[in-house]
Amino acid sequence: MSLAKFLKKSIEQTQSLNRVCMLKPKLPELQTIHLNKGKNEIGRSKETGIRDVRCSKRQLLLDVDLDKCQVTLEVLGVNPCALNGFMADQGTKVVALHGDVLEIVYGRHPFEIVFKPPPPTLSSEEKPMAIDDDESVPSSDDSKDPWQSIDNGKLVIYTPKGVKSSKKVAGYDMDGTIITTKSGNVFPKNIDDWQIIYPEVPSKLKKLSEDGYKICFFTNQGGIAKGKTKLEDFKQKIKGICGKLNLPIQVFIAVGDGFYRKPVTGMWKHLCEKENDGIQIDLKESIYVGDAAGRGTEGKKKPDHSCCDRLFALNIGLPFFTPEEHFLGKKPLPFSLPQFNPTKLPSTLLHLEPASTKIPSDSPSELIVMVGLPGSGKSEFSRSTLEPLGYTVLNADTLGSSAACISRCQKALQATQRCVIDNTNVDVETRKKYVEIAKKFNVPCRCFVMNSSLSQIQHNIAFRQLTDSKHTKINQMVMNTMKKKFKEPSLDEGFTEIAKVNLKYAFRSSEEEKLYKMYLVEK
């Protein structure tokens, strides 16, 4: 060992002995959290300054390694956290490094992971090649890395040598369209468990390439964000597939949820704006092929797992084909789209049923109990329509508990105010508490039920997650429990009136409206 390397190693060992780790807040209302070597449990507490009820008292387990300058993170709480924008659900384990940004709850309470002194700087031989997220990679230059990481790794792009821009694009899903498993399993056993799905695939793609089409793959790979698949392993798989086909193919990989995941059009938008050398793509001459097409069992052994490929093409405006139609020349099979069609919104901005429903009521004080699943629009209706009319809007999540909500409700009615309970209130037992409070203060109690289908609710939730970072992902188990508990309100419960509320469509911009009118849910 040279003297220089010996001295460097000695310095690093000395720094490691004196090193500390902390979570440095990214917002002024938060405070620095000092972490001990080894395991640390953090969550809602005085020490962290986090009072958000969405954050569990035992939200995260952080295992700090001061020698390696890394933190192994495990999610303990019900609500997910995020690392560098990637969501991590309960039970997920991920490794975080110096400078990474950790959101204790997804979209909330951001902290930077800081080691002091910081980890030693890598030598030029050890450093990974830097990639500029804002520039496409010229495929003709062998010195450039063919891999790009976009938007903090939410989108990964592979552009090998020979890829040429074109006004004609032949786009393909990958799993179930270009490849299938060797094992016959639905999901691959390992990174090598793949084979080209049909013998006709290579010749078909070669012919399109010779005809001037740019060949692109668009693939959702949520398993990478969840830690089930290593990104580096998946990169090798991509290189193997492209090598097998022996064609210049540009591959877009959506890592996790969000704007880049099909059927949302983020991958295609990035292709048009950044990865086609300014050449406008002709949608009529281009195509998209995918196996997630919303087909049932008619003519197939198993129904399609989703409809996201067909919806992806619909959102863009591309002619769509299934792999069987495109490669094998088979006839199209029947398919079904989601029940809610966002492209055909009702022209009525706001409608209460029956039409005789009055807001505000003639009574100087009253209680309105909202009823609806998360995402049905009850909070938006309460805030945008009832609150400006003088109603006090109360929500258990905002106040911290149901008991606090009941207490504030009683105070409002005692002060002869109009009050709205903006909770899900899906079962009779929950609604009964508020009916009894209204009787106690001798005020009318009305029930407003959101008139939203489950398909529309799922769409609303997807839209909200794409446009509002304050909202966390709704746990599917919680949603299923609420659906089972839901009981249609009746006048027998003691309500003076029951009205249905249809959603009001109001968008902050034309871009938001355009996004809402796309299919956002995969099934």
Instruction: Kindly provide the residue ranges of all beta strands, DSSP E only, lying in 258-340, ordered along the sequence.
Output: 287-289, 320-321
Q: Is 264 exposed, middle or buried (0-12, 13-18, 19+ CB in 10 A)?
A: buried
The closest alpha carbon to 306, from 21, 65, 82, 522, belongs to 522
Given a contact cutoff of 8 angstroms between Cβ atoms, the answer to whether 114 and 22 are in contact is yes
Paired strand residues for 75? 60
> Residue 133's pLDDT is what?
35
Q: Residue 111 in 3-state DSSP?
A: strand
Residues whose CB falls within 8 Å of the CB of residue 115, separated by 6 or more in sequence, listed in order: 19, 20, 21, 66, 69, 98
263 preceded by a cis bond (ω within 30 of 0): yes
Four-CA torsion 482, 487, 489, 491, nearest 10 degrees:
-150
End-to-end CA distance of the chain: 60
| Integer Cα distance of 328 and 79 in angstroms | 45
| Integer Cα distance of 281 and 210 in angstroms | 17
Given a contact cutoff of 8 angstroms between Cβ atoms, the answer to whether 305 and 522 are in contact is no
Query: Count H helices, E strands: the chain?
Result: 14, 25
Per-residue tokens: 78 = 């019900």
Residues 470, 473, 474, 477, CA torsion sign = negative
Q: Kindly provide the b/e burial profile for residues 39-55, where b requires at least 16 CB atoms within 10 angstroms of the residue's own CB.
A: ebebbbeeebebebebb
Per-residue tokens: 187 = 């999901």
> Residue 503's pLDDT is what?
83
> Residue 134's pLDDT is what?
34
Q: pLDDT tens, position by position, for the chain (523 residues)?
A: 554 554 455 555 555 678 999 999 887 778 899 999 999 999 998 888 888 888 999 999 999 999 999 999 999 999 888 887 667 788 888 888 988 889 898 778 889 999 999 887 544 333 333 333 333 333 434 456 899 999 989 999 999 999 999 999 999 999 999 999 988 888 888 888 999 999 999 999 999 999 999 999 999 999 998 888 899 999 999 999 999 999 999 999 999 889 999 999 999 999 999 999 999 999 999 999 999 999 998 888 889 999 999 999 999 999 999 999 999 999 999 999 999 999 988 765 557 889 899 999 999 999 999 999 988 989 889 998 999 999 999 999 889 899 999 999 999 999 999 999 999 999 999 999 999 999 999 999 999 999 988 899 999 999 988 988 776 667 778 788 888 999 999 999 999 999 999 987 778 899 999 999 999 998 8
**Helices 231-245 and 200-210, axial angle in degrees (round to 10):** 80
| Furthest-apart CA atoms within the chain: distance in Å | 89
Q: Residue 156 in 3-state DSSP?
A: strand
Residues whose CB falls within 8 Å of the CB of residue 350, separated by 6 or more in sequence, listed in order: 385, 502, 504
Q: Write down all domains in the chain, each with its CATH number in brackets.
A: 12-116 (2.60.200.20), 147-328 (3.40.50.1000), 351-516 (3.40.50.300)
> Residue 142's pLDDT is what?
47
Give me the DSSP letters along 355-415: TT--SS-SSSSEEEEEE--TTSSHHHHIIIIIGGGTPEEE-HHHHSSHHHHHHHHHHHHHT
Residues whose CB falls within 8 Å of the CB of residue 383, separated by 6 or more in sequence, listed in order: 393
> Residue 15's pLDDT is what?
58
**Helices 428-440 and 402-414, axial angle in degrees (round to 10):** 30
Given a contact cutoff of 8 angstroms between Cβ atoms, the answer to whether 522 and 262 are in contact is yes
